[in-house]
Amino acid sequence: MLTLQNITYGYPGKDTLFDNINFTIGRQDKAALVGNNGTGKSTILRIMAGILQPASGSVRTETKPYYIPQHYGQFSHMTIAAALGVEERLHALKEILGGNVTEENMSALADDWNIEERCHEALTQWGFKAEDLFCRMDKLSGGEKTKVFLAGIAIHRPQIVLMDEPSNHLDSSSREMLYSYIKTTGNALVIVSHDRTLLNLLSTVYELNRQGITAYGGNYDFYAGQKEIAAQALTEDLKEKEKALRKAKETEREAMERQQKLDARGKKKQEKAGLPTIVMNGLRNNAEKSTARMKDVHAEKTGSIAEELSRLRRELPDKDKMKIGFDDSSLHKGKILVTAKDINFSYNNRQLWNTPLNFVISSGQRIAIKGGNGSGKTTLVRLMLGELKPAEGELQAAAEKVVYIDQDYSLVDNRLNVYGQAQQFNTAHLQEHEVKSRLTHFLFTSGDWDKSTSVLSGGEKMRLLLCCITLSDKAPDMIILDEPTNNLDIQNIEILTAAVKDYKGTLIVISHDAYFLEEVNVQGSIELA
């Protein structure tokens, strides 16, 4: 149904992004496209959609795919109808029904007489009103924009649907609607996503990397299991190589010690024999050459093993390269950190929550704040941080040190470089080499230390903040994460998950990502309505 053959693509003036990619999607196939940020997943989708042209290779498709992009800025000046590509047809229908039956209007309508009805039904399903068709896109939230394009599937009735991070800004109920569509549709699907609940609904996973594209015949859990098996095998290879390197160095040391003893005994015998100086010098030179040859043989062997060891370490998944060590919070488990009694907040004299909130958060708990878009999740966090005051009720907070990582990573100062940002958090007064060593553990090499934080990706900012937390003289009593997986690829979600699981303090998470919440052992929730 859709085939990419020998596709090569590179941005002008830059290296080739990918080369000789082959990919086929058949009728009713449901495929995930995964890979680290920067490997070109979104680019491949746009090539499939016909938006980009490859440098070489061919794209063949039996029918025009329907494409849902990740970003919507190009539609800001348009109405919903225009963004969905139906405005001209709707206008033509209105003109014809009003008696203006021209050839131009009939051609624009293309016999699509129920276009208006389909639009209304599809938008209603996703929570819009009929009159919203002519609302401007820039008036909508990120989640609403996504729902507009999801509604477009029912309007255009395509056979192939391409989606780029479709669940990014959706709340839980909208995600469930998306999941239901994926499970029941007969359309062929290709989806780029870091939403592992969604990925588990797809029957094939294609992994894109610098070497090409690899197919895994199963859902995300199957794919992750295969990757884990490969990682374990790699770890075993590493252990064997490390053992071999230690053995080679020990053998080298023992051989050199034996040679030195032999040389010393030979020299004493030669001196006792009273050999002429010229003969003594010749024997000494021969002994030195023999020792040098032995050093070269051992150096070549240990060098070969060390090089192989270095290659294996480079192949390790990033989450396994990182050394994450959070100190325990000084608070004993069970200490009450936050108490809310009948609290509410008001916007324009209107109460935010239908029912006042009552809850207690104790040290060591892992709690999710849940609710639809606009339900006040971030507002509740700001109340807990003391940035806002409740309009009614009483809220008491006892945590001394709270780290709040929001969706925009506001704790990162874009005026600083990576090393300077780390130093801002270095209340433990670590030496420069210790700070840089810690940065290296979080995958910031020497080439990154002078890089401006303003150019870091979301995943890089998240890793930098995790590193910064470990530089403090005191572990945070509470970490609050606001939609932490929204702007991360799977690789960085795994890094974040490993770090959060290692943290022993109190964790508060705002997230619609059920898979992530389960992975980090969230066991309680505060429900907002």
359-387 as b/e: b if 16+ CB within 10 A: bebbbbbbbbbbbbbebbbebbbebbeee
Question: Alpha-carbon distance 124 to 120, whole Å?
Answer: 6
In a 10 Å sphere around its CB, with 0-12 CB exposed, 13-18 middle and 19+ buried, how is residue 497 labelled?
middle
In a 10 Å sphere around its CB, with 0-12 CB exposed, 13-18 middle and 19+ buried, how is residue 476 labelled?
buried
- Same domain as 273, residue 166: no
- Same domain as 394, residue 273: no
Question: Alpha-carbon distance 309 to 239, whole Å?
Answer: 9
Q: Is residue 356 part of a domain?
A: yes
Closest listed residue to residue 368, CA positions, set 142, 143, 172: 172
CA 397 to chain centre: 32
- Residue-wise pLDDT tens for the chain (529 aa)? 899 999 998 877 677 888 889 989 999 999 999 988 778 899 999 999 999 999 899 999 989 999 999 888 889 899 999 999 999 999 999 999 999 989 999 999 999 999 999 999 999 999 998 888 999 999 898 889 999 999 999 999 999 999 999 998 898 899 999 999 999 999 999 999 999 999 999 999 999 987 889 999 999 999 988 887 877 776 677 677 667 767 767 776 766 667 666 666 655 655 555 556 565 555 456 555 655 565 665 566 666 666 665 665 555 555 555 555 555 556 667 789 999 999 999 988 889 999 999 999 999 899 999 988 888 999 999 999 999 999 999 999 988 889 999 888 899 999 999 999 999 999 989 999 999 988 988 888 889 999 999 988 888 888 899 889 888 888 888 999 998 888 788 888 888 888 888 888 899 999 888 899 999 999 899 999 7
Q: Is residue 8 part of a domain?
A: yes
* E strand map for 320-386: 336-344, 346-347, 350-351, 357-362, 366-370
Question: Alpha-carbon distance 32 to 458, whole Å?
Answer: 22
pLDDT of amino acid 260: 66
Question: Alpha-carbon distance 129 to 236, whole Å?
Answer: 59
Q: Which residues have CB under 8 Å from 125's CB, separation 6+?
A: 151, 154, 177
Number of domains in the chain: 3
Q: Is residue 352 part of a domain?
A: yes
- Same domain as 10, residue 102: yes
- Same domain as 395, residue 270: no
Closest listed residue to residue 175, CA positions, set 158, 200, 156, 155: 200
- Same domain as 357, residue 253: no
- Same domain as 312, residue 172: no
Q: Is residue 325 part of a domain?
A: no
Q: Is residue 79 part of a domain?
A: yes
- Same domain as 102, residue 144: yes
* CATH for 405: 3.40.50.300
pTM (predicted TM-score): 0.73
Residue where a domain stops, chosen among 166, 191, 226? 226
Q: Which long-range contacts (CB under 8 A, 24 or more apart) does 247-253 make?
A: 248/298, 248/301, 248/302, 248/305, 249/302, 251/298, 252/298, 252/299, 252/301, 252/302
- Same domain as 199, residue 235: no
Q: Which residues have CB under 8 Å from 413's CB, separation 6+?
A: 420, 421, 424, 453
pLDDT of amino acid 113: 93
- Same domain as 164, residue 124: yes
Q: Is residue 490 part of a domain?
A: yes
Q: Is residue 322 part of a domain?
A: no
End-to-end Cα distance, the chain: 44
Question: Alpha-carbon distance 26 to 17, whole Å?
Answer: 25
Question: Alpha-carbon distance 384 to 381, whole Å?
Answer: 5
Q: Is residue 461 part of a domain?
A: yes
| SS3 at position 372 | coil
- Same domain as 142, residue 239: no
Domain containing 448 equals 336-527
- Same domain as 238, residue 202: no
- Same domain as 233, residue 220: no
Element (H, E) at 527: strand 524-527
